[in-house]
Amino acid sequence: MAHHDHAHADHAHDDHEHHGPEKGIMRWIKTTNHKDLGTLYLFLSFTMFFIGGLMSLVIRAELWMPGLQFVDPEFFNQMTTMHALVMIFGGVMPGWVGLANWMVPMMIGCSDLALPRINNWGFWILPFAFALLLSTLFMAGGAPAGGWTMYPPLVMQTGDAFPFLIFAVHLMGVSSITGAINVAVTILNMRAPGMSLLKMPLFVWTWLITAYLLIAVMPVLAGAVTMLLTDKYFGTSFFAASGGGDPVMFQHIFWFFGHPEVYILILPAFGIVSTIIPTFARKALFGYDSMVYAVASIAFLSFIVWAHHMFTVGMPLAGELFFMFATMLIAVPTGVKVFNWIATMWKGSMTFETPMLFAIAFVFLFSIGGFSGLMLAITPVDFQYHDTYFVVAHFHYVLVPGAVFAILAGVYYWIPKWTGRMYNESWGKIHFWLSAVFINLTFFPQHFAGLAGMQRRVPDYAVQFVDWNIWSSIGAFGFFVAQFIFIFNMLACCYGWFGRKQGLPDRIWEGAHGLEWTVPSPAPYHTFEDPPQIGAGEVTAVHDEFDALDHHKLS
């Protein structure tokens, strides 16, 4: 994805050949090209996955056996805190923005995002944000250790790292908001003629809704951490009980951000899976409209369920009942999505290339995370699950074989389009099977440890939990190592290693539909500078009532 051998690209719309990329490092610093920025975002994302992954290995190494073998408990807490911040804000979110950068303009048939300079700024904030955050590891008192949730009063015990944490979160928020505004404005204003909202690819739909979630909640997070900052340095008492403040209020504000945030991490995954499954089932997505409505419903519900993260803070009964019922409701639209995916596979003509394998694993394993989520919604039982490894297992199931598998699926699916070189399918499959086995080995045993009484965020545990933790640690190390197969496979596409040649057709996958498959492979530096004519076969949404847009018959 790094090189676009542009000069030799042969494509229809490229009458702006002289607008090719600059040479050297300045290309990447100054670029306003959505493809370049998508590439930068993805490289940042995978770098952060690597760093966050190393932190998880410190955690899993210490938890390999009971007793403290390697690290001080304070450093352990720094690792859990930083692992979460790096993975969420550095891994998954930039991963989605990277994919949106690359794909949204190509899917809706426009030449670039609406605000290209903002796009450049939004990306280049991030290296500074993470430099601030990661520099705290080398400070007196170490990195933040109060959990990524930053609950006061504990977070107030952070040493010199405290303002760095707050400003890093501010910068990540600014970056996310610029990205979200850019995507939303682009989708609403720059669709090619004929690309009405209810014909957009699902990835575009899910990103549009994600963008609104980001715009709605990132300022809330910024406000919450700013209040922490003034509590610490300017004598306010928003959250300090001793000054008349309320530590629980922080949790309400944080989770009002935090619950939509978890859907920010997962909704684009729904879009990717809804794109990949029809391609490899060679069958139109089942229930397009209901998929859109389901995503919108999930997004709406995400604003009224936040307090299920804090059932044990001592809410009034009525509050607990409301948040229990509202949370349970999320199962309905989520179920609809899973049923639609399976109905799409049903009576299809399936093949199982690597993107499809990851997409199917997503449906299966995300659903397992969904089931444990439903269990967690039941307040009286949540009192037992809360803050145990059962919760750790739950959210890692929705985030790793959920969001991360979908990012991997998306990269496998589109990298031939980006680079013009096919990845190695055998290594892709090996990567998939190793990932699928090890991720389950990592996180499935954690359900049992949590149910039997192992609490979260501890560096040491009662000896009864040793077996679960050994399996979990083996899985984590295995999963980490397996990802290098992916990295090399993808870099080989970018740089043409192992003699990989360009020369793929426009429509790389037999069953693929969408405007991105109408441009050459690799995609030229500038695409759709003139709005395309949308062929009937490129429309994701298939409606019986729209006879004019006769849906694709693939057999």
Partner 1 sequence: MKMGWLARLAAGTTLALAAVSAGAYTESSGGYNLPTGVTDLSQEVFDLHMLIFWVCVAIGVVVFGVMFWSILHHRKSKGHKPADFHESTLVEILWTSAPFIILIGMAIPAAGTLIKMEDTRGADMTVKVTGYQWKWQYDYLGENVSYYSTLSAESNKARQLGSGIDPNTVPNYLVDVDNPLVLPVGKKVRFLVTSADVIHAWWVPEIAVKKDAIPGYVNETWAKINTPGTYRGVCAELCGRDHGFMPIVVKAVTEAEYKEWLAKQKGGAAAPAPAAAAPAVVEVAAAPAATATDAKPDAAAIEVAAAPAAAAPAAAKDLSKDELMKKGQEVYTANCSACHQATGAGMAPTFPSLIGSPVIKGPAAGHVKQTLAGKNVMPPFKHLSDLDIAAVVTYERNSWGNSGGLVQPSAVAAARK
Interface positions, 73-112, toward partner 1 (CB under 8 A): 73-74, 77
Interface positions, 119-178, toward partner 1 (CB under 8 A): 140-141, 145-147, 151, 153-154, 157, 159-160
Beta carbon nearer to partner 1, 114 or 150:
150
Beta carbon nearer to partner 1, 67 or 193:
67
The Cα 526–Cα 21 span in angstroms is 10
Q: By CB under 8 A, tell whether 371 contacts partner 1.
A: yes
**Cβ proximity of 154 and 77 under 8 Å:** no
Phi, psi of 455 (to 5 degrees): -80, 160
Catalytic site includes residue 456: yes
Phi-psi region of 333 (alpha: psi -120 to 50; beta: other; left: phi over 0): alpha
Beta carbon nearer to partner 1, 95 or 401:
401
Query: Which candidate in 34, 337, 394, 417 is catalytic?
Result: 337
The Cα 273–Cα 32 span in angstroms is 28
**Cβ proximity of 51 and 86 under 8 Å:** yes
Q: By CB under 8 A, tell whether 284 contacts partner 1.
A: yes
Query: Which candidate in 56, 81, 158, 176 is catalytic?
Result: 176
Q: How far is the CB of 253 from partner 1 (least distance, A)?
A: 15
Q: By CB under 8 A, tell whether 459 contacts partner 1.
A: yes
Catalytic site includes residue 283: no
Beta carbon nearer to partner 1, 22 or 460:
460
Out of 176, 388, 472, 489, name the contact with partner 1 by CB under 8 A: 388
CA distances from 144 to 163, 240, 329, 460 (A): 10, 19, 35, 19
The Cα 179–Cα 172 span in angstroms is 11
Catalytic site includes residue 83: yes
Interface positions, 324-353, toward partner 1 (CB under 8 A): 324-325, 328-329, 331-332, 335-336, 338-339, 342-343, 345-352
**Cβ proximity of 506 and 12 under 8 Å:** no
Q: What is the DSSP letter of 86?
A: I
Catalytic site includes residue 261: yes
How many residues make contact with partner 1 (CB under 8 A)? 104
Out of 112, 231, 261, 320, name the contact with partner 1 by CB under 8 A: 320
Query: Which candidate in 136, 334, 367, 442 is catalytic?
Result: 334
Interface positions, 192-211, toward partner 1 (CB under 8 A): none
**DSSP characters over 477-524:** HHHHHHHHHHHHHHHHHHHTGGG------SS-STT--SGGGGS-SSPP
Beta carbon nearer to partner 1, 22 or 74:
74
Other Cβ atoms closer than 10 A to 334: 22
Query: Which candidate in 56, 111, 274, 521 is catalytic?
Result: 274
Beta carbon nearer to partner 1, 229 or 449:
449
Instruction: Provide CB contacts within 8 A for 309, sequence distance 6+.
Output: 251, 255, 258, 259
455 DSSP β-pair partners:
388
Q: How far is the CB of 270 from partner 1 (least distance, A)?
A: 16
Q: How far is the CB of 166 from partner 1 (least distance, A)?
A: 17
